């Protein structure tokens, strides 16, 4: 049975890295040769090698793979009881393992360790050693290596090597107390070493090391968010794939976690959606509808995640997993703030509704729409509705060096257009001038090549004007004239992918299909194009635009049957007392933030509540950059512990203003 003896970590600057380990509380000692540093842990160790030494160690691997081993490369070294047997197992699995060679090193106290080591030219095969003397007794501290994510060039081939040495299956292997997970290098470039214990400083995290927090190391609220992530409340377009039991269990989890909320607030359900009424001390119109949603989008490639997307891992100061930003954090933060207020004996002056939908990611028609209908039937008209969609951006607005709190005052509409055609079919050896697939493809190209016109709307104009004083150079001068400039500013915003969606109705071909076999002419073909509709356009005007630019009269154009569509929302005023209140609260939790406005480019549940609220806003005070945003609906979605604490604080402050 093999165990993890140590990890070889290639670093760029050995001296700096050694100092950083020492400052983080590790013991780190340099070998007499000067080329390696040993960092003992509770059950194994890290061996740091400077880039030149690391490359010398791995020169065979570099020749084999044709790739350099840069800083951050991690090589597992496995300890076995019988090296000859391990070498034979690897050779039987088809790997050219070199004959074992003798090695030795000295510890600071003068003790010498001797071992035999077997190397392989294949970069995806771990090093294997057998001690000839007693293994070094240099254990230190409580930090343990729980898990190592190892990028490999050939996942199937690497798995065959690990299978010859370790118990496990697929791409996950257990080496003693440590789990080794293999991932394709095409999806994850650098290894991740997961430690238990105290957090690490940023330089060591960037090296590829991380710390997984144990229960009790973090605020219980963060642990509850991590638990929430573990429920696979995934919304699928194919509704028969949705696991209702996961939603039911998630609801039970909320009731266990927030007993005061569920004892004192009135709860009604619509399917798995949850509508809470928190009665105010005074009569009159309700103050607010606070929205969030329980469901999450599917995960395409779980192996590409640093931590499994539904394990709710807390590591490196983050809660990792699907839904941490979108949108379970807002469900949990709202309940955390309410539970704390109730524990203090506090009640809102005016009635507040909390509405947590269960199908926002697929339209919200069975969740938010049903809850909004319940409220409408009772004559509820709240002052405002607050939902997801706006954040405090770091570097999201070009040229603005300060955090930007984007309190959104409306959202774009959306529609999906279907393009379709048919043909007689036949054998591909006698094709017509254009097949059905070619017709649809050309129609998609026509629409893609003729985007709807650029336009500067009032919310975007105001957004730019508010941040203009912080933008330097020519762009700042242009932004400073936002009140009088239209097209030049719209063209400038269109140069960035992030801001281009704010100045036009966007066009996104998403599906194209047709045909059944390579040598059979298709009898039908279709494509779907998704539009996010800017204020000033409508669903009908988008449809007419498509019919105008698709020149082939044999291609039909229609709104996609069975797909929901939505017109652009009403726009709330920034002169509103509610906007000013949200702005005050945003700067209370992030004092350095500049408050601006804008439009939500996507669709949220808020669009279902327009008839039961006078105004709508979209905002959550989490500090995010472009990397954080890429995790939403993508890989490695995560929310920092600081952001989650900020979100709870903001919600608590908001409740006390109602």
Catalytic residues: 295, 360
The answer to whether the CB of 265 falls within 8 A of the CB of 254 is: no
The answer to whether the CB of 273 falls within 8 A of the CB of 371 is: yes
530 CB-side CA count, 13 A: 12
The answer to whether the CB of 308 falls within 8 A of the CB of 380 is: no
Report the 10 Å Cβ neighbour count for 218.
Answer: 18
Token pair listed for 362: 């697929």
What is the arrangement of strands in the sheet containing 613-618, beginning at the earlier edge strand? Answer: 266-270, 273-278, 352-357, 288-293, 382-387, 613-618
Report the 10 Å Cβ neighbour count for 131.
Answer: 16
Radius of gyration of the chain (CA): 29
Core vs surface per residue 40-74: b (16+ CB within 10 A) or e: bbbebbbbbbbbebbbebbeebeebbeeebebbbb
CA distance 406 to 596: 5
Query: 282: buried, middle or exposed (CB in 10 Å: 19+, 13-18, 0-12)?
Result: exposed
Token pair listed for 338: 């309410």
Token pair listed for 616: 């709508």
Nearest to 208 by CA among 487, 2, 10, 16: 10
The answer to whether the CB of 236 falls within 8 A of the CB of 297 is: no
The answer to whether the CB of 73 falls within 8 A of the CB of 58 is: yes
CA distance 324 to 637: 7
Query: 453: buried, middle or exposed (CB in 10 Å: 19+, 13-18, 0-12)?
Result: middle
Strand 410-411 to strand 599-600: parallel, antiparallel, or no bridges (unpaired)? Answer: parallel
Query: 245: buried, middle or exposed (CB in 10 Å: 19+, 13-18, 0-12)?
Result: exposed
CA distance 326 to 625: 15
CA distance 415 to 412: 10
User: Could you give the 3-state DSSP secondary structure of residue 310?
Assistant: coil
The full 3-state SS of 13-59, as one line of letters, equals CHHHHHHHHHHCCCCCEECCCCCEEEEECCCCEEEEEEHHHHHHHCH
């Amino acid at each position: 049975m093999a165990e993890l003896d140590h990890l070889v970590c290639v670093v760029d600057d050995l001296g700096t890295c050694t100092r950083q380990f020492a400052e983080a509380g590790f013991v780190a000692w340099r070998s007499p040769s000067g080329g390696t540093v040993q960092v003992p842990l509770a059950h194994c160790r890290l061996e740091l090698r400077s880039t030149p030494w690391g490359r010398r160690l791995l020169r065979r691997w570099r020749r084999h793979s044709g790739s350099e081993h840069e800083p951050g490369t991690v090589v597992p070294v496995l300890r076995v009881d019988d090296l000859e047997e391990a070498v034979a197992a690897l050779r039987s699995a088809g790997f050219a393992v070199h004959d074992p060679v003798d090695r030795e090193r000295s510890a600071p106290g003068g003790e010498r360790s001797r071992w035999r080591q077997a190397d392989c030219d294949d970069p995806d095969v771990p090093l294997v050693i057998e001690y000839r003397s007693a293994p070094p007794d240099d254990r230190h501290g409580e930090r343990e290596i729980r898990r190592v994510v190892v990028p490999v060039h050939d996942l199937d081939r690497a798995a065959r090597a690990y299978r010859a040495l370790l118990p496990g299956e697929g791409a996950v292997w257990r080496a003693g107390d440590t789990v080794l997970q293999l991932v394709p290098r095409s999806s994850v470039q650098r290894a991740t070493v997961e430690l238990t214990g105290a957090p690490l400083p940023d330089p060591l995290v960037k090296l590829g090391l991380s710390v997984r927090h144990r229960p009790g190391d973090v605020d219980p609220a963060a642990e509850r968010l991590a638990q929430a992530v573990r429920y696979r409340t995934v919304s699928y377009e194919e509704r028969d794939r949705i696991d209702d039991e996961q939603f039911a269990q998630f609801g039970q989890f909320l009731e266990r976690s927030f007993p005061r909320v569920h004892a004192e607030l009135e709860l009604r359900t619509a399917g798995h959606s949850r509508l809470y009424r928190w009665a105010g001390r005074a009569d009159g119109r309700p103050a607010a509808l606070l929205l969030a949603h329980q469901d999450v989008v599917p995960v395409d490639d779980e192996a590409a995640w640093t931590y499994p997307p539904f394990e709710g891992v807390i590591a490196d100061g983050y809660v990792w997993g699907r839904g941490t930003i979108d949108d379970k954090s807002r469900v949990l933060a709202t309940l955390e703030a309410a539970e704390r207020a109730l524990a203090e004996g506090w009640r809102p002056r005016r009635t507040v509704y909390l509405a947590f939908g269960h199908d926002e990611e697929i339209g919200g028609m069975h969740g938010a729409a049903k809850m909004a209908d319940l409220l409408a039937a009772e004559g509820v008209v709240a002052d405002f509705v607050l939902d997801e969609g706006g954040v405090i951006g770091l570097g999201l607005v070009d040229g603005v060096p300060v955090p930007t709190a984007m309190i959104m005052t409306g959202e774009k509409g959306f529609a999906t257009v279907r393009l379709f055609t048919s043909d007689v079919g036949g054998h591909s050896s006698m094709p017509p001038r254009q097949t059905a697939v070619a017709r649809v493809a050309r129609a998609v190209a026509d629409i893609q090549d003729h985007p709807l016109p650029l336009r500067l709307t009032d919310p975007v104009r105001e957004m730019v004007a508010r941040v203009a004083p912080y933008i330097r150079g020519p762009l700042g001068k242009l932004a400073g004239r936002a009140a009088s400039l239209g097209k030049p500013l719209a063209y400038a915003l269109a140069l960035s992918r992030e801001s281009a969606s704010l100045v036009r109705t966007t066009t996104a071909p998403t599906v194209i299909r047709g045909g059944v076999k390579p040598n059979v002419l298709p009898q039908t073909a279709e494509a779907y194009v998704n539009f996010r509709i800017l204020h000033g356009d409508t669903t009908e005007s988008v449809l007419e635009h498509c019919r105008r630019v698709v020149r082939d009269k044999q291609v039909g154009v229609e709104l996609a049957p069975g797909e929901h569509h939505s017109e652009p929302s009403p726009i709330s005023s920034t002169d509103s007392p509610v906007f000013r209140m949200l702005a005050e609260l945003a700067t209370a939790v992030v004092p350095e933030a500049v408050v601006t406005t804008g439009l939500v480019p996507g669709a949220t549940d808020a669009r279902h509540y327009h008839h039961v609220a006078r105004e709508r806003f979209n905002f959550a005070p989490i500090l995010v950059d472009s990397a954080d945003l890429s995790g939403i609906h993508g890989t490695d979605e995560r929310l920092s512990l600081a952001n989650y604490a900020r979100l709870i604080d903001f919600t608590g402050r908001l409740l006390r203003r109602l």
